[in-house]
Structure 1
Amino acid sequence: MGRHESRVDDYERSGRLLDDIEGAYATRTGDLVDGGPLTDFEETVTLAASPDPGSDYPPPGHGYPRRD
């Protein structure tokens, strides 16, 4: 049987994604993340990795990723 990722696994992965987006932003702009404009990709990853408080998790139609 495959292993199911836990909420902790998801939280840690989301943290790594957000750290990497900050690094990409700093590389692209030469500045730390300061509320400046994000690319469409940066915005999509940011919103996916840190959904609005109170939103359904996982979103309707999606489950936790599985590693088989």
Structure 2
Amino acid sequence: MQLLTTQTNQASCLQTTAFKGLQAGAWIHLEEVPSTFAHHEGLLLCQVSQWEWVMWIPEHGEHLLKIKI
């Protein structure tokens, strides 16, 4: 599973069960970071679709995580 990020300012949170292994409050390692200063880990906030999560990345802010299989 590859984890990619795309910047977003807002998103609404929906409950889905696409990836039962992922859950809000979990820290995950990012293969790609959105900027040079961003950390390589992000905190999952909520799932917005089957393949997307809103996350917070230290030194960067809120991002939309897109899961690519």
Structure number having the greater helix percentage:
1
Whether the TM-score (by the shorter chain) exceeds 0.5 is no
Structure number having the greater strand percentage:
2
For the pair shown, the structure with the greater C-alpha radius of gyration is 1
TM range (shorter): under 0.3
**TM-score normalised by the chain length of structure 1:** 0.21
